[in-house]
Structure 1
Amino acid sequence: MRKRLALLVAAAMSLVLIAFLVPMAILLRSVTADRAVTTATAKAQSLTSLIATADAQTVQAAVDQLNAMAGYPVTVFLPDSTVVGASSARTPGVQLAELQGSIIVAEAGGREILVAVEGLAQGTAVVRVFVSQAELTRGLGSAWLVLAVLGLVLLALGVVVADRLARSVVRPVHELAAVSHGLASGNLDARARPSGPAEVRAVAAALNHLAARIRELIRQEREAVADISHRLRTPLTVLRLDAESLDDPGAAERITGHAEALEREISAIIQQARDRDSGPGACDAAEVVAERARFWSVLAQDQDRHATVDIPPGPVPVAVGRTELAACLDALLGNIFAHTPEKASFGISLSVPAGGGALLVVEDTGPGFTVEAPVSRGTSGAGSTGLGLDIARRTARASGGTFTVAQAHPHGARIVLQLGPPGS
């Protein structure tokens, strides 16, 4: 934009300068030629009174004196065919001046200034002053050079001023773009500094208002999530009290443990909703996957499902918080238990790729599903909320990784999450 504005001003100024300087150059050429002609005419007219009153010798002396001075060659054609002064043939212009009077004749090499001296006893004398083309244009080249330099200086000044003005417009636009990118990356504190033209300042004010509104809406959403999660604690407390009142101590302990685990998850959801402004978390993927695999293995035994778990021994750091990764794995495993028949086996594998991070694969031997359409939040063909796969997708992408849905061989579903390393 800055370059385009400078080019636009340069083009407009070039047209204006051409429209001004070309007529000025033509006028200078005309003025220079008229000045030379006027000087030559005055030189010729200075001899008319002398020719009318003096003899030939006096005229000869006066003409020689004029020719000795720097200037134009002067020739006097007397009525008796005597030629005084610079050598010159009796041109058609001289003959015409003898008949019609003083004239100016243009020739290829310059102009003839012909002044007729009438009233002599023997006829009409003609004073011829020849002005060459070089004399007609003397000093014109320097004048044109001055005009050209002046035009270039004005053009350069115009481009510099246009560039400064364009910069004052473009800089606020770049700042607006930087603020918008900051908001898109999650920096809700980014604000634009109103500057530049009134229109740009209006856009900056609107962007700041939008950023403030986005922050307020996100705050309200997080508080609503926290409030909804907090409201679940009351029925959980009732459930725990009912579990404690059971006659079977084993069943009471088991149900109470589940209720406490659910309460911890709700507390984690509340904390996560309120701490969303913090940077990306990190955890040991091997530890989290092993813990969630042990949790789901109890239910797998109840449903007679064969589970395969392959986890490397060492720590596997990833750019995902512990709670987020656990929720992601619970969503994927929950889908398996909810949408595959009992006794359908599943597998969990965790590996470390060459670039760091982790490669988490969850697959099953269920009926599978088509993957022609991308995973869409809230959309499910199995009657569920459609949030499980979207949670996994957002977890992978938040870590800087990828999320892939594929068909397992020979049937079933295969979910692949590539989780980025911390600091990615």
Structure 2
Amino acid sequence: MRRRILRAVVVAVVCAVVLFSVPLAVATLRLYRQDEVRELEQLADRVAVTVPADVHHPRDPMELPRVEADTWVGVYDEGARLVVGAGPARGDRPVQDALAGRASPSQLGDRLVVAVPVGSGERVRAVVRASSPADGPLRRAALTWAGMLALATVAVGVGAVLGVRSSRRLARPLEALATAAGRLETGDLTARAMPSGLPEADEVASALNRAAARIEELLRRERAFSADASHQLRTALTRVRLDLESAQASGAPHAALRAALESLTSTESTLDDLLDLARDLPEQAPLDVVALLDGAARRWHGELAAVGRPLRITVEEGLPEAVGSARAGRQILDVLLANALAHGSGTVTVAARDASGVLAVDVEDEGPGLPEGQDVFARRSGDADAGGHGIGLALARSLAEAEGGRLMVSRRTPHPRFTWLVAGGGKEAAP
């Protein structure tokens, strides 16, 4: 590409130089020829004013001015005979034309000739003839053409230098884009194209960076899905196992099978939601928080009541508008309620409130609190009971951030509280 740009710049400069130089060279030759003719006419006029009335018997000898060796000056009588000076013995066509009153410069062979009539009225008593080599203007023009050629060479050289710089400036952003695209092709999703100052290339770089970020985010969510799904499956299978073991101990298989089927159905729905959330872009549809909390109450009231723990739902009036995915919200609440069931105690409270113009959903229980200095949102490959809150909270936080919101611990102890800030009006929730 650099060679093509350089070639185009040089060709454009050469064409411009040729288009200007050729007419200028022709005009220069004509100008020098006119100058030469004018000098000959001035010389002939100076001699003409010194020609006496009788060119054959002058009282004083006629003196011609000194001229260059290759310039000839001659005086002819009315019979076209050379009287004094240099020139042909018999007057040639310019002399004959001057005697007839038709004086005009002309070129005879290799010389420029000017003939000036001498006389008064209609009677021409003599003619002054001046001539010089015809190649004199050409020699002067050749020197000028040499100077023009030198300047043209400089212009082409400057154009070539500018072409090299321009080709580098134009090609470097495209080469950087090709390099970034090649890295993306090899699987390096961290590759980004840097701004170059060239608006068109920067637009392509921005589009490429956005596409790379989108692919990286989708791939990250796809990879996280396996971990998230395994956690949800493990939780559901544990629940089914407990139901079946309880049924075996109590001798009520039908109720246990019904509970197990309900758990498996819920797990299937959860896995579908997680897979869709892993593949889709965040939704920007209005979020019905009341319906979201009602659904959570229906799903978790029975399980919490089975262990003697009440579930309380409170919703303030005049809540801010919120946008997002109902599927993501359902998963976030399920994770927070499952965490409260597994690690908390007492009443579980879910409250929707206005937090300085942002919708906030709090989930808290009456447990002793969270360990100080521990990141409860960190992903751990081990079991949740082995020293942490497991992969569920990491899943909830990633879903909240993917929807433009925030999930954080607003109170550690006592009575731990998790707060979900929901994005609203096309803006991300404040941290």
TM-score by length of 1: 0.52
Distance 2:82 2:238 in 1: 141
Change (3 A) 1:125 1:235: same
Q: Is the 8 A contact 1:66 1:74 kept in 2?
A: no
Indicate the residue corresponding to 2:75 in structure 1.
76
Change (3 A) 1:88 1:120: farther
Distance 1:153 1:44 in 2: 43
Pair 1:214 & 2:231 matched = no
Indicate the residue corresponding to 1:29 in structure 2.
29
Q: Which amino acid aligns with 2:163?
A: A
Pair 1:2 & 2:6 matched = no
Distance 1:55 1:169 in 2: 79
Change (3 A) 1:217 1:59: farther
Q: Which amino acid aligns with 1:200?
A: A
Residue aligned with 1:115, SS: strand
Q: Which amino acid aligns with 2:47?
A: L
Distance 1:133 1:195 in 2: 61
Indicate the residue corresponding to 1:118 in structure 2.
119
Distance 2:8 2:211 in 1: 34
Per-residue CA distance 1:45-71 (angstroms, 9 max, x = gap): 0011110358656886522x424x456
Indicate the residue corresponding to 1:165 in structure 2.
166
Q: Which amino acid aligns with 1:148?
A: L
Q: Which amino acid aligns with 1:79?
A: E
Pair 1:48 & 2:41 matched = no
Q: Is the 8 A contact 1:9 1:158 kept in 2?
A: yes
Indicate the residue corresponding to 2:130 in structure 1.
129
Residue aligned with 1:193, SS: coil
Indicate the residue corresponding to 2:392 in structure 1.
none
The runs of at least 4 aligned residues of structure 1 exceeding 6 Å deviation read: 235-243
Indicate the residue corresponding to 1:198 in structure 2.
199
Change (3 A) 1:58 1:135: farther
Indicate the residue corresponding to 1:324 in structure 2.
none
Distance 2:190 2:127 in 1: 95
Residue aligned with 2:74, SS: strand
Identity %: 31
Q: Is the 8 A contact 2:77 2:126 kept in 1?
A: yes
Please show how residues 270-349 of structure 1 align to structure 2 within 5 Å: none
Per-residue CA distance 1:251-282 (angstroms, 9 max, x = gap): xxxxxxxxxxxxxxxxxxxxxxxxxxxxxxxx
**Gaps in structure 2 of 5+ consecutive residues:** 246-431
Indicate the residue corresponding to 1:39 in structure 2.
39
Change (3 A) 1:58 1:180: farther
Alignment size in residue pairs: 242
Change (3 A) 1:58 1:228: farther
Residue aligned with 1:62, SS: coil
Residue aligned with 2:201, SS: helix
Residue aligned with 1:47, SS: helix
Indicate the residue corresponding to 2:338 in structure 1.
none
Distance 1:122 1:198 in 2: 81
Distance 2:59 2:122 in 1: 17
Indicate the residue corresponding to 1:228 in structure 2.
229
Residue aligned with 1:46, SS: helix
Which deviates more from structure 2 when the two are superposed, residues 142-151 or residues 231-240? Answer: 231-240
Change (3 A) 1:180 1:121: closer
C-alpha deviation, 1:233, in angstroms: 3.6
Distance 2:5 2:127 in 1: 64
Q: Which amino acid aligns with 1:153?
A: V
Q: Is the 8 A contact 1:101 1:115 kept in 2?
A: no
TM-score by length of 2: 0.51
Distance 1:225 1:121 in 2: 119
Per-residue CA distance 1:207-228 (angstroms, 9 max, x = gap): 1111111111111111101122
Distance 1:122 1:169 in 2: 77
Distance 1:148 1:3 in 2: 25
C-alpha deviation, 1:127, in angstroms: 0.7
**Gaps in structure 1 of 5+ consecutive residues:** 244-424
Change (3 A) 1:3 1:14: same
Change (3 A) 1:224 1:125: same
